[in-house]
Amino acid sequence: MAVAVAASAPIPMKSIMSWARFALIVVSLACADPTATLSRPAALPAVDSEQQDNSYSINSADGTVRVTIVRVRGETGEPIHAFLRRMFESVDSVGARRMVLDVRSISGSDARLVTSLVAGILKRDQFLRDGGLYVVTGSQSFSPAQNAATLLQQYAHPIFVQ
């Protein structure tokens, strides 16, 4: 008895790896552990409790993008996914080589909304190399900030600053 095997086009390895990476990110959101931090002198500016909106700036001289995420939910302002898309488009257009991500002001929200942030960072090799990503956390960093930090620790190996 002969068995017929249908020929199918092979699935590209890059596509499989992209989906596998995405699946790991989503699964990891539910499995976040505490993140080790590196204490630094007070060289960072204090958290501005009056700042209401997420912001970013790019120093074209040294290729550093500084991102401050104040809130994840966009009830009154720009939704986080729209802000991150705009920020990453700017990062790509200038060829930024380093990111300083300040999540000290996020005190809680829906942790699933950090997927855009983590996926955006993981898609850019310049932020995955040593010294390419710095994550600033604080004693008030909870929920989505902690989940994002944990995922980045596992996949991007950033330098944490508290």
pTM over 0.85: no
Cα atoms found within 13 Å of the Cα of residue 32, Cβ hemisphere only: 22
Cβ contact 62:98 at 8 Å: yes
CA distance 7 to 16: 19
Q: Would you say the C-alpha torsion 37, 39, 43, 47 has a positive or negative sign?
A: positive
CA distance 18 to 125: 14
- pLDDT tens for 65-115 read 999 988 776 566 788 888 999 999 999 999 999 999 998 887 666 665 678
Residue 123, phi then psi, degrees to nearest 5: -80, -10
- pLDDT tens for 101-154 read 998 887 666 665 678 888 999 999 999 999 999 998 877 666 667 778 788 888
Parallel, antiparallel, or unpaired for β 98-102 and 133-136?
Answer: parallel
CA distance 95 to 65: 10
Rg (the chain; Cα; Å): 18
Cβ contact 114:83 at 8 Å: no
- Say what the pLDDT of residue 79 is: 82
- CA dihedral of 43, 63, 127, 134, whole degrees rounded to 10: 0
